[in-house]
Structure 1
């Protein structure tokens, strides 16, 4: 059934077709990370954002590792309506702005020597060839969104993995 036909049928029943489609938002100098309050503009590497149902503004993350950690947490019960990362194939690593892409269609490089705001990060790319070029230059392996697992994004002590925090 076409979307137009479905909308017409719902409208005829006194209901409206409702979508939770969202578009990524860019951050400014004062935008802080949802998890730790760090200002996104002050740090290098890819940033991320998650929209939840009923929420007009996204939760921003100063690092893709934080975003994946929150998204993959089993306790996550809020409905995600959009999830975006920056395309580091075109964004400036040291001062990334804009270039937002759908996180679920992106390519990721895990295990590279490049660091983000929290130390080791997961670089995000719109194009597989950009991810492969990055991995060849900085190390790491290319993954798809569904291949990132909770054990890859543990936040228990930062760069030094200090489990005594």
Structure 2
């Protein structure tokens, strides 16, 4: 009980900050907001988990070709969805900043880069039904007039930079979320989540936590989406933002919970998963390198549970589980055999292997 009280007291400052968000330009009264979803995620963004009424003036509603509807707090969050599911989208609507009604986004006039703070992005984006209203907004607040496609392109190009900003803010919240989760939630094994919104909906639907205020639930969702946010920086693998995996070409910094690295002489290779790391380890010439195994100075991987950087040659790897990484099926690393066996039983893994037991034939 004392722990629960201390956690609630610890979170008071965060709650006060959240209450101040009611004064934001994006915020409207609940009665003035049009929310299109009908499930347990009705009031929050499916990507970032943020409250749709608080960030209503930048929200976008989407209808997919199968009839399913979703709603996102910003063009930033919609851009993330559009990158992967754009061909499945039937209709996109955006809130008219003036009337607060949902309008056809493709016919809206967007004001990009005004002095009014944006949502999930350093460059604000507000939409208007009438061109005159958009120009009036520009005369007072600055910014440039753009079409939907132009604004979406700007948001898409800014995703990597904006995500770094968002991640930085989430780290402090996730540390509080971790304490709340460990004290006030059912600490059962949770699945992997693709977004904060997905984690938040799972927590609600499965009643993982009880009697949490909205801001506390958001903090837990951020933590459970990516526990690496709450890991001490000095224990995480430090990944340069511009490095690509030599096997698949993906930016490794986008996947910190799966990252691995290999130091050869004075150079370090980074990988978006241990599977690609092993492919490179066994056959570097296939990826335009001619390293010999005796030249490898160290191999580091990311422990699945703690998100800490650990010695890859001393790790234990689970193969054949139902948990997938950025490149599909993965070898899931753990710092000790007990954790690996526990994961194997929970996630239908086929086998636990030591580093020296992993063979190249496993990948082909």
Please classify the TM superposition score into its range, dividing by the shorter chain length: 0.5 to 0.7
2:274 alignment counterpart: 64
- Contact map agreement 1:105 1:126 (CA 8 A) in 2: yes
More strand by share: 1
Please provide the CA RMSD for this pair: 2.1
TM-score relative to the length of structure 2: 0.31
Q: CA deviation at 1:28?
A: 4.2
* Structural mapping, 1:46-57, within 5 Å: 46-53=258-265, 55=266, 57=267
CA contact (8 A) 1:45 1:117 kept: no
TM-score, normalisation: structure 1: 0.66
Q: Report the CA distance shift for 1:32/1:74 in structure 2 as closer, same or farther (over 3 A).
A: closer
How far residue 26 of structure 1 moved from its aligned partner, in angstroms, is 1.2
- Count of residues in correspondence between the two structures: 122
How far does residue 25 in structure 1 lie from its aligned partner after superposition? 5.0
Distance 2:264 2:300 in 1: 12
Give the direction of change, closer, same or farther, for the CA distance of 1:77–1:38 in structure 2 (3 Å limit): closer
2:339 is matched with 130
CA shift digits 1:75-134 (9 cap, x unpaired): 55431011111111212xxxxxxx111111000001111111100000001011111111
- 1:44 deviates by 7.1
The 5 A counterparts of 1:5-84 are 26-43=238-255, 45-53=257-265, 55=266, 57-73=267-283, 77-78=291-292, 79-84=295-300
Deviation at 1:74, TM superposition (A): 7.9
Aligned partners of 1:29 and 1:52: how far apart in 2?
Answer: 20
2:313 to 77, 87, 104: 104
CA shift, 1:33, in A, is 1.4
Q: Which has the higher helix share?
A: 2
Whole-Å separation in 1 of the counterparts to 2:264 and 2:333:
21
Distance 1:41 1:77, change over 3 A: closer
Question: Aligned to 2:258, what secondary structure does the other structure show?
Answer: coil
| 1:3-35, Cα deviation, whole Å (9 max, x unpaired) | xxxxxxxxxxxxxxxxxxxxx951144332122
Decide which structure has the larger Cα Rg and report it: 2
Which residue of structure 2 aligns with residue 142 of structure 1? 352
Alpha-carbon distance in structure 2 between the residues aligned to 1:109 and 1:117:
16
Bigger relative CO (Cα 8 Å, ≥ 6 apart): 1
Q: Which moved more, 1:67-76 or 1:145-154?
A: 67-76
